[in-house]
C-alpha cells in the first residue's frame, strides 16, 4: 500500500470533515455537486471522505476566500492534476530506464501536488498536512 492509496482511503464521515475544515455540510455537498470532490460512499449511501478530500476542501475554502469561484477552482484542480500526471509519466519512464534519480522527482511531484496552496493556507490545513509525509 503506497502513500497515494493511504491518502485516498475513505475514512471520515461528513461530521468530522465539517470540524476539520470548518465548512457546513451544505457547503461540502455543494462542492461535491459541482464536481470539486468525489467522496466515496458507504453501502448505505453515506459519504466517506479521504485525507485527500479533506485537503481539497481546505484548498477550496482558501481559494474561495481569495475570491476564486467554483468554476475557477475546478480549473485549478484540473491543471494541477495534469501536471501531476505528466510528472508521473516521466517518473515511470525513468523507472524503466532504471535511471532513477527518483528522489528529486518525487520531491518535485510533491511540490506540484501542493501547488495552488500558495502560502496563505488555513491553520487547520497546516496542521492537517502533518498527518502525511
Within 30-59, the residues that bind DNA by CB under 7 A are 30-31, 34, 42-47
Within 89-108, the residues that bind its own copies by CB under 8 A are none
In terms of Cα–Cα distance, which of 66, 50, 64, 56 is closest to 12? 50
Q: Should residue 130 be labelled a site residue for its own copies when binding is judged by CB under 8 A?
A: yes
Decide whether 48 or 64 has the Cβ nearer to its own copies.
48
CB burial class (10 A; 0-12, 13-18, 19+) of residue 31? buried
Taken as a whole, the chain contains a residue count of 133
Coil, strand or helix: which one is 117? coil
Q: Should residue 27 be labelled a site residue for DNA when binding is judged by CB under 7 A?
A: yes
Residues that bind DNA (CB under 7 A): 13-16, 24-27, 29-31, 34, 42-47, 64, 69-71
Amino acid at each position: 500500500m503506497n502513500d497515494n492509496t493511504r491518502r485516498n482511503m475513505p475514512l471520515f464521515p461528513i461530521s468530522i470533515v465539517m470540524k476539520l475544515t470548518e465548512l457546513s455540510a451544505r457547503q461540502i455537498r455543494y462542492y461535491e455537486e459541482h464536481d470539486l470532490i468525489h467522496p466515496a460512499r458507504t453501502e448505505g449511501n453515506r459519504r466517506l471522505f479521504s485525507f485527500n478530500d479533506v485537503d481539497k476542501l481546505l484548498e477550496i475554502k482558501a481559494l474561495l476566500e481569495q475570491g476564486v469561484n467554483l468554476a475557477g477552482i475546478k480549473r485549478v484542480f484540473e491543471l494541477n492534476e495534469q501536471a501531476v500526471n505528466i510528472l508521473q509519466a516521466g517518473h515511470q519512464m525513468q523507472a524503466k530506464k532504471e535511471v532513477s534519480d527518483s528522489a528529486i522527482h518525487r520531491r518535485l511531484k510533491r511540490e506540484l501536488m501542493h501547488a495552488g496552496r500558495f502560502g496563505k493556507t488555513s491553520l487547520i490545513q497546516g496542521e492537517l498536512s502533518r498527518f502525511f509525509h
